A and B are shown apart, each in its own frame.
Chain A
Amino acid sequence: MKLLIIEDEPALRKGMADYLSSQQYLCEVAGDYDTALEKIDLYSYDCIVLDLMLPGGNGLDLLKTLKRANKLDGVIIISARNELEDKIAGLQLGADDYLTKPFHLSELSVRISAIIRRRSLQGSNTLVFEELTLDTIAKTVSVHDAPVLLTRKEYELLMYFIVNKNRVVSKNAIAGHLWGDDMDVADNYDFIYAHIKNLRKKLVQAGAGDYLQSIYGMGYKLTAK
């Protein structure tokens, strides 16, 4: 899987590239408009991470170029501007998703994986982790081919962990993913713990291994034993 990260801020660019590379993505980076344009012209990517404000031009113009050339690359816009107009303009121009800075890398990863799944021609609508299989269209989970009944939030939670497997995912990132960034009740009570506990119980009861571990009270990690 090949990604292009277009972002002018070096630290942010490197952070995204590091995190996504460790998830078996092949990452290329571009720090300005012209470099990005060149790369888009020459190669094709499974997903492009696109910042809107770039030295040398506007990210939306890159998006237009991409669509004019009938390229099939998926695009996720990352912008510091949480403006509805930008979002609408971006999505109308054919972007697949829009993420406002500051975001969690785990969230970016989940969004990218969703875009790639949606766009993949092979129709790989399943996520597999050990004996767990997720059907991302039906939004169902099975363990050893036997279905497990999860609530929607538990399903989302499991998918989040599987996409970010072997990575520590912070509780804030989980809360942001499940309830949106504006939800701040989640900070004050450790009720995410309850969700994790329920999910873990259901999976173990269905015969799956216990792959979730708590990390120093700050988050959780899904690892194969």
Chain B
Amino acid sequence: MKLFAQYNRLNILATISIFVVGSCTFYILLRYILVKEMDNSLRSEQQEITQYVYEHHALPEINNTREQRNIYFKNTNKKEGFATLNYDGEDDAYREITFNLTVGGNPYVVVVSKPMDGIELLQHFILLVTIAMIGLILLTALLINRRILNGLWRPFYQTVSQIKSYNLSTPDIIELPATDIAEFTLLNNSLNVMMGKVQHDYEALKKFTGHAAHEMQTPLAIIRTRLDILMQRETVLQEYGQDIADIEQAVQRLSRLNHSLLLLTKVENKQFALNEDVRIDEVINDKCIEFAEILQERDIILSVSVTPFSVRFHRQLAEILIGNLLNNAMRYNFVGGSIDIQLAGGVMSIANTSLLPALQHERVFQRFYRHNDSIVEGNGLGLSIVKQICDFASFTAAYTHTDRTHIFNINFNTPPIVL
């Protein structure tokens, strides 16, 4: 429910309740005053009759009109006082006074009654006004509501739609305008400040990535360069050959790890534009040719069955994605094993034989996850890069294991974007 509808509902309920309570109170008060007035007039009738009896020693002649009715009957000591009652067959209520009189030594009971027309009218009138007022309140609320939703809240909806279309990785910055309404201006200003800060932090992060690369790559470059120089010295090699080989290997791993981490950060920061149509089947074939010698060397049988498929993607990312999967399929394979690559209907599956048991499904794409039994070590980032690229391009990656075969499926069909 919209905020204003919620507010409106409460407001109308409260207004109507107050109005009803007010009307009732008003009615009760008025009625009380009017009855009092009527009682006074009845009391003066009583005095007139008493006066008449005192002077004439007889009751006045009964002359009943619509305005007043007198009834006398002989009786003793009926309870005196006022009462309101309805006579049979008549709609209107009457107010009557009953009192005892002694006329010529005989006890009489006198009842004087007057119709309560005015009060009834008042009642109807108040009811009518109340209903009319409630109707008016509802109508006003409806009109205000329409005006507010169409006009007053417009800046709010504009802000919301602008925020929805806000994308951190695109360089255009949203500037939300000031409005006539203080609250919305406050909201827009706060959002502007927030987006500015986020944008700033994001830029800083991107710069940090670049700087981190520079800061780490340069020392690595120095180490590698000096090693290359050291390697040329016969005497050094004779004495420290194995040490240099170990250092060389470590530098190799470190620079590759650094490279992978930077790539992962770049994909995470969406620093690639998905604006190329990439033929997945061609990338697969290229990669297979690239790895042909290694596969041959290890007696791994490769079977490839692909149908042409093109998707909006990034060529370099496609190569990394498929390269990493193929790399894994080879690395954890055994001599004489097999790799089976299929691409049909935009779904690629890469299946490889391996001595490793099934990997943990929930952890297989995690950074630095390795199966405990794995002897050959990658840097533990290959599959998380695959996953990250898939997430970025809205593809899905899945892993299954059957009968000593590990299967990775990539679905290149982008699901429709749900707004």
Contacts and interface: CB of A to CB of B under 8 A. Distances in A.
Interface of A: 9, 11-12, 15-16, 18-19, 22, 53, 80-84, 100-106, 153, 167-168, 170, 172-173, 179, 181-189, 191, 194-195, 215-219
Contacts of B232: 19, 22, 167-168
11 contacts: A11-B222, A12-B225, A15-B225, A81-B213, A81-B214, A102-B255, A181-B259, A184-B331, A194-B297, A216-B237, A216-B241
B275 to A, nearest CB: 13
Nearest to A180: B290
Residue from B215, B226, B252, B255 having most chain A Cβ neighbours under 10 A: B252
B316 A84 contact: yes
A130 B54 CA distance: 164
B223 interface: yes
A103 B214 contact: no
Contacts of A80: 213-215, 217-218, 221
Contacts of B253: 187
Nearest to B238: A216
A153 B231 CA distance: 24
Contacts of B259: 82, 181-182
A186 B237 CA distance: 23
B193 interface: no
B249 interface: yes
Contacts of A153: 293
B256 to A, nearest CB: 6
Which bracket fits the contact residues of B?
A: 35 or more
Interface string B277-308: 00000000000001101100110000000000
B294 A191 contact: yes
B224 to A, nearest CB: 4
Nearest to B335: A189
A81 B210 contact: yes
A168 B297 contact: no
B3 interface: no
A81 B316 CA distance: 16
Given A22-B232, A80-B213, A105 B225 contact: yes
Interface in B228-257: 228-229, 231-232, 237, 241-242, 244-245, 248-249, 251-253, 255-256
Contacts of A22: 232
Nearest to B379: A184
Contacts of B248: 170, 172, 218
Nearest to A105: B228
Contacts of A194: 297
- Which 7 residue pairs across A and B have the least CB separation, nearest first? A15-B225, A216-B241, A80-B217, A102-B221, A218-B245, A101-B221, A102-B220
B378 interface: yes
Nearest to A100: B217
Contacts of B103: none
Contact of A106 (B228, B252, B320): B228
B323 interface: yes
A216 B222 CA distance: 23
A185 B379 CA distance: 11
Nearest to B263: A82
Contacts of B244: 216, 218
A18 B232 CA distance: 11
Contacts of B223: 102
B229 A105 contact: yes
Residue from B220, B224, B256 having most chain A Cβ neighbours under 10 A: B224
Contacts of A216: 237, 241-242, 244-245
Contacts of A219: 231
